[in-house]
Amino acid sequence: MTAITLKRVDQQRNMSRFYKLDVQPTLLGGWSLIRGWGRIGRVGTVRIEAHPTRGLADMALIAAWARKRGRGYR
């Protein structure tokens, strides 16, 4: 699966943000949802959520994607 990158830019509010989502296998047979966010052009923050199956990791990715789309990320 290819990583999903969302952006939210509002020049009037000096807002320039990104949010990246990716699902990857772990070394122990599980799956991880990797979320990264921050200001465009900066390193940002990364969080990893462990999930026992690919299906659960994909569902978490879809839920995070929907939340961010609702907040104006495209």
* pLDDT value at residue 17: 97
Q: Which residue range forms the structural domain that includes residue 11?
A: 4-70
Instruction: List pLDDT tens digits, range 37-73.
Output: 999 999 999 999 999 999 999 999 999 999 999 999 9
3-class SS of residue 5: strand
* Nearest of 39, 5, 9 to residue 19 by alpha carbon: 5
**Nearest-angstrom CA–CA distance, 33 and 60:** 7
Give this prediction's pTM: 0.87
Six-digit token string for 62: 């879809």
Q: How many CB atoms lie within 10 A of CB 19?
A: 21
Tally of domains within the chain: 1
**Is residue 21 a contact partner of residue 3, using CB atoms and an 8 Å limit?**
yes
Q: To the nearest whole percent, how much of the chain has pLDDT over 70?
A: 99
Task: Kindly report the CATH number assigned to the domain that includes residue 22.
Answer: 2.20.140
